[in-house]
Amino acid sequence: MSIWFKKDLSLNDFAHWSQNTLGSHLGIQFTEIGEDFLKGTMPVDHRTHQPYGLLHGGASAALAETLGSVAGALVVDREKYQVVGLEINANHIRSVQSGLVTGIASPIHIGRSTQVWEIRIVDEREKLVCISRLTVAVLSKEVI
């Protein structure tokens, strides 16, 4: 059973959300939406490297927050609610020098006022690079 507010949701419905954002600057792209997950990719290149030529932990956190926040927004009625980040953590497991990393956001908790998302980021060999947990608040647009 689908967790998304809009039951016939497709990537085209929200791909434009990343225009002129940090996500677009980093090359983040949404690649798949399943019944209960959102998947996206990010290149490991000059935009996402730290000084040693490895994937920057902040870039991994940006991918995780992008996927988790967008997934969170897709679960609610966006005419009535807005989803904003409260807390993110990221454990960096393995380094990556180049290629593409893929993140998959899956819900741990979807509540009325908060959501918790797990985002697993893997390299092209499906090896775990980073695991992140994002907590978001669900705010009424009337309050904002």
pLDDT per residue as tens digits for the range 123-141: 999 999 999 999 999 999 9
- The 3-state DSSP class for residue 113 equals coil
Asked whether residue 27 carries a pLDDT value surpassing 90, the answer given is yes
Q: Residue 1: pLDDT band by 50, 70, 90 thresholds?
A: confident
pTM score of the predicted model: 0.96
Active site residues: 65
The H-assigned helical ranges of 6-143 are: 22-26, 57-75
Asked whether residue 143 carries a pLDDT value surpassing 70, the answer given is no
For 11-140, which CATH class? Answer: alpha beta
pLDDT tens readout for residues 28-57 = 999 999 999 999 999 999 999 999 999 999
Q: Are 61 and 131 in contact (CB under 8 A)?
A: no
Q: In sequence order, what are the residues at sequence separation of 6 or more whose Cβ sits closer than 8 angstroms to the Cβ of residue 10?
A: 33
Report the pLDDT averaged over residues 15-20: 90
